[in-house]
Chain A
């Protein structure tokens, strides 16, 4: 009982973030068995207005007593325009959540407001200041346009996520196969996140019976450069993991780069060629290391790096 969770890692692998209603005991008790990288216990939209109090008690005890293992535990709190968010933050910090997802983020100030309340809660509950990570959900054109300032607003911020439902509503568009209605938002948010050096996550795909449509969207996510995706159904987890997994060819190339870099770095050489004549410098190394990490997480890595 009450095993404190290890200190959260800011830039861990987050291919899949699975939403779970924090109010439903049947869901939260075995949320980790599905194998998502992160679970997102929801205090916001999934919880009815008259159950906001009840969801916090469930959340607190789940955080304290359920062993989620290596699964990251993030909590989506209610928006800053509601009376709930301050108490939501207190319970997240007291319970030891790894991170907090800020709903409807529209400005850097929104992030700073949450950060201040988180720090106060850390002091109140004797939690190491800085432990609790943040991520921001952009749900409106204003939020998307302010993405860069939002991405830079806090050292705790590991990433931004797009929330398609509200964004589409504001833009007066519906879900279009191929995602033309979301293209500008996705592209803008990705650039802002990369420029600020944080992660970027795509919105949920809600038609759980449309496997083909889901795969097409994940493929586009991968090609655009997303780190991961928010999910609403456990069935979607393995599909994303499989589609984000590197190919054996990519793994072999990454291994060559990492090995060659290590050898050359020891000798003080910064630019070198690998087998096949490709010229490599230090800029290739983080990408190669990421491929190895993904391969390991996908269970397909057989090397020794």
Chain B
């Protein structure tokens, strides 16, 4: 599965994170914007979690926008994965790989 369109997930509420993935032909993973209310303490950790999730999902090229309001790791993963599946526009109900690339 590949990103076909812009996929967005998450909100700007406290403890949440909004992730936007835009498909790209090349250029690898480019973080075009990264904002976090806890940048000093957790900025690096959140960024690493976003990149690790994209890697698991097999995303090679994409423009990524991150707007964080203090999300835990589990929420970061959930929003990246949701943005990816939305951007792929595939109906995968019944076959989501829980415990596979979603983990």
The interface of chain A, by Cβ under 8 A from chain B, is: 24-26, 29, 53-54, 56-58, 60-62, 64-66, 83-84, 86-87, 90-91, 94-95, 125
Measured in the bound complex, the distance between the Cα atoms of B76 and A25 in whole Å is 10
The reply to whether B74 and A66 contact each other, CB–CB distance below 8 Å, is yes
The interface of chain B, by Cβ under 8 A from chain A, is: 9-10, 13-16, 71-75, 77-79, 81-82, 85-86, 93-94, 96, 98-99, 102-103
Shortest C-beta distance, A31 to chain B (Å), equals: 12
Among B10, B15, B73, which residue has the most Cβ atoms of chain A within 10 A? B15
The reply to whether A64 and B74 contact each other, CB–CB distance below 8 Å, is yes
Given contacts A57-B78, A125-B99, contact A25 B94 (CB under 8 A): no
- For the A-B complex with A90-B98, A125-B98 known, give 19 more contacts whose Cβ atoms are closer than 8 Å: A24-B13, A26-B14, A26-B16, A29-B15, A29-B75, A53-B82, A53-B85, A54-B10, A56-B96, A57-B82, A60-B78, A60-B102, A61-B73, A61-B75, A62-B74, A86-B93, A90-B94, A90-B96, A91-B96
Given contacts A53-B86, A54-B82, A57-B82, contact A25 B98 (CB under 8 A): no
The reply to whether A29 and B72 contact each other, CB–CB distance below 8 Å, is yes
The reply to whether A25 and B77 contact each other, CB–CB distance below 8 Å, is no
The reply to whether A60 and B14 contact each other, CB–CB distance below 8 Å, is no
Measured in the bound complex, the distance between the Cα atoms of B93 and A83 in whole Å is 9
Q: B77: which A residues are within 8 A, CB to CB?
A: 57, 61
Given contacts A25-B16, A90-B96, A94-B98, contact A57 B79 (CB under 8 A): yes
Q: Which residue in chain A gives the minimum CB-CB distance to B72?
A: A29
Measured in the bound complex, the distance between the Cα atoms of B9 and A272 in whole Å is 66
The reply to whether B86 and A25 contact each other, CB–CB distance below 8 Å, is no
Measured in the bound complex, the distance between the Cα atoms of B102 and A33 in whole Å is 27
Shortest C-beta distance, A6 to chain B (Å), equals: 19
Shortest C-beta distance, B4 to chain A (Å), equals: 16
Q: Which residue in chain A gives the minimum CB-CB distance to B73?
A: A65
A-B contact pairs, 18 of them (CB 8 A): A25-B16, A25-B72, A25-B74, A29-B74, A53-B85, A57-B9, A57-B79, A57-B81, A58-B78, A60-B78, A61-B75, A64-B103, A65-B72, A65-B73, A87-B94, A90-B94, A94-B99, A125-B99
